[in-house]
Amino acid sequence: MTKQQANWSPYDNNGGSCVAIAGADYCVVAADTRMSTGYNILTRDYSKICKLADKAVMASSGFQADVKALQKLLAARHLIYQHQHNKQMSCPAMAQLLSNTLYYKRFFPYYSFNVLGGLDNEGKGCVFTYDAVGSYERVGYSSQGSGSTLIMPFLDNQLKSPSPLLLPAQDAVTPLSEAEAVDLVKTVFASATERDIYTGDKLEIVVLNADGIRREYMELRKD
C-alpha cells in the first residue's frame, strides 16, 4: 500500500524575472511583463511591480495569484500604519513587515520571490531580497525569478559589492549613476530574454529618487 500522492498542486509558476539595484540616492526596480504557465503565455502585459509606499516598491516573481494576495495584504497593512502613525512606512520598515508576512505562512507559503527596492531614511537607495518564507537581507542589488540564475552572475560581475568581511566596512550601494544603472538593467534583461523562455515581451522599470517615482518601458523579444 503506497502512500497517496496529491493529484493537484495549489501552486503554479507564472515565470518572469525581477531585478533591483540601489544607488547612492536612487533605486531602480525592474521586471519583465510576461506571464506564463507551462510552455504557454497567458499575457504579455502583466505588471509584477507594486508600489507599497512612497519610498518602497516591490517586484515579485513566482505564482502571481499569491503575489497579488501578498500585495493586497501589504497595502492594507500600510493603510493601518498610516492611520496609526500619520506618515508613510519607510523602506526598512516595509522590509521587515514583508518578512514577517511571508513567515506567517511558513507552512503554506506565498509562492512569491520578492525584491523590495526604495530609499532608506537617509535618502540612500536600498534593496532587500527575499526567499519565499521571508528570509531577507539588505543588499546593493539583487534579482529573483526564472531569469535570476542568468542575471545575478552578470550583476555580480558589474556591481559586486565588497565583502562584508572587509575592514574598514564599505557601503553596500553601487557607485553607478542613475542613468548607468537603468542602462545596465536594460542590458541585463535583453540578455536574460535571449536564453530564458519565461522572460521577454516588455520590460517595466521603476526609478525612485528624491524627485519621486518614475516609470519607463522597453520592448523585449517576444519569442
Partner 1 sequence: MFRNQYDTDVTTWSPAGRLFQVEYAMEAVKQGSAAIGLRSKTHVVLACVNKANSELSSYQKKIFKVDDHIGVAIAGLTADGRVLSRYMRSECINYNYTYESPLPVGRLVVQLADKAQVCTQRSWKRPYGVGLLVAGLDESGAHLYYNCPSGNYFEYQAFAIGSRSQAAKTYLERRFENFKDSSREDLIKDALIATRESLQGEKLRSSICTIAVVGAEEPFHILDQETVQQLIDAFEIVAEEEGPASEPGAAADEGAAAEEGAGADQGSGAAPMDI
Question: Which residues of the chain form contacts with partner 1 (CB under 8 A)?
Answer: 72-73, 76, 79-80, 83, 86
What is the number of alpha carbons within 13 Å of residue 38 lying toward its C-beta? 1
38: left (phi over 0), alpha (psi -120 to 50) or beta: left
CB of residue 84 vs partner 1: minimum separation in angstroms? 9
Q: Which is nearer to partner 1, 4 or 86 (CB)?
A: 86
Helix (H, G, I), strand (E, B) or coil at 204: strand
Q: Which is nearer to partner 1, 73 or 213 (CB)?
A: 73
Q: Which is nearer to partner 1, 72 or 160 (CB)?
A: 72
Q: Which is nearer to partner 1, 6 or 80 (CB)?
A: 80
DSSP H helical segments within 18-144, as ranges? 64-85, 91-104
CB of residue 83 vs partner 1: minimum separation in angstroms? 5
Contact 38, 44 (CB under 8 A): no
Q: What angle do CA 95, 97, 102 make, to 5 degrees?
A: 100
Q: Which is nearer to partner 1, 28 or 53 (CB)?
A: 53
CB of residue 180 vs partner 1: minimum separation in angstroms? 38
Residue type, 91: C
Task: Specify the length of the chain in residues.
Answer: 223
CB of residue 104 vs partner 1: minimum separation in angstroms? 16
What is the number of alpha carbons within 13 Å of residue 178 lying toward its C-beta? 17
CB of residue 114 vs partner 1: minimum separation in angstroms? 20
